[in-house]
Structure 1
Amino acid sequence: MTAGVEKTQVKGMKRVINATGYSFKGLTAAWKYEAAFRQEAVLAVLLTFVALILPISSTEKVALIACVVFVMVVELLNSAIEAVVDRVGMEHHELSGRAKDMGSAAVFLSLCLTFGVWVTILFL
């Protein structure tokens, strides 16, 4: 952007439409470039179907599905962290490694949470 030129702020429905487009670009990029996201998306579809047909309450169905979606959200954030770190530089740096490890840990914790919720609702 040139100095002294202000970016025009988009407001109202146009902003919502633009934001929706950016979101779909992000989902498309995750599907295209992130194997883990593809695996989790396929699993999410399968587990959502299972949750919907199980003879459990609506609240329990929502909890099961919400956990699965939460894993995908965390995976998207982890992928974003990895993309930014890789953009900065491919050489090894302690802070870059730490950021990637923490993102991976967040995915792991979301998977543990999901597993715990599914086991609790289905077996306890």
Structure 2
Amino acid sequence: MSSEFTNGQALKGKTGLRRILNATSYSLAGLKAAFVGEAAFRQLLLLNVLLIPAAFLLDVSRAERAVMIAVVFLAPIVELLNSAIEAAIDRISYELHPLSKRAKDMGSAAQFMALSLIALVWASIIL
């Protein structure tokens, strides 16, 4: 067995610029899949479309504006991860199982916390 195979490199695929191009393609495919297949992701993008320009209209410091925008970006990121967890669980089985429920509930809880963070940050800066 070659040392390349034993260290896992053979399973990684391409390297260098080809790897970066492939990774970009996979990322864009993931964004498209989320946009097409996940209503929550589309809703969060709408929230971004509304709140990011609003952050520029408010009389806040640049640091505050950056934090306001960063937390808004966090929600779609968490939704991508939550949707990935749900897809993996559903791929394994549609059967109801306590561990599947726990994984999905934790993903949902992460999204709840991300949305709560948006509300907390925006309220503390604006009020």
TM-score of the superposed pair, with normalisation by structure 1: 0.91
- Match of 2:58? 54
Question: In structure 1, what is the equivalent of residue 107 of structure 2?
Answer: 103
Match of 1:24 in 2: 28
Q: Counterparts of 1:60 and 1:112 in 2: how far apart (Å)?
A: 17
Q: How far is 1:7 from its partner? A: 5.0
Runs of 5+ unmatched residues, structure 1: none
Task: State yes or no: 1:33 paired with 2:14.
Answer: no
Hey, what's the Cα distance between the residues in 1 that align with 2:13 and 2:37?
31
CA RMSD of superposed structures (Å): 1.4
1:57-95, Cα deviation, whole Å (9 max, x unpaired): 111111011001111111110000000001111110000
**Once superposed, which parts of structure 1, at least 4 consecutive aligned residues long, lie more than 3 Å away?**
6-9
Which residue does the alignment assign to 1:80?
Answer: 84
1:8 to 1:44, Cα distance in 2 relative to 1, 3 A: closer
Letter in 2 for 1:45: V
Instruction: Pick the aligned partner of 1:91 from 88, 95, 111.
Output: 95
Q: How many residues align?
A: 119
Distance 1:86 1:8, change over 3 A: closer
Match of 1:43 among 44, 47, 53: 47
Aligned-partner Cα distance in 1 for 2:11–2:125? 50
Give the 3 Å change call, closer, same or farther, for CA 59–45 of structure 1 in structure 2. same
Amino acid at match of 1:40: L
One-letter amino acid of the structure 2 residue matched with residue 77 of structure 1: L
Task: Give the percent of matched residue pairs that are identical in Structure 1 and Structure 2.
Answer: 50
Normalised TM-score (structure 2): 0.89
Aligned mates of 2:22, 2:113 — CA distance in 1: 32
Distance 1:122 1:64 in 2: 10
Tell me the distance in 2 between the aligned counterparts of 1:84 and 1:13: 29
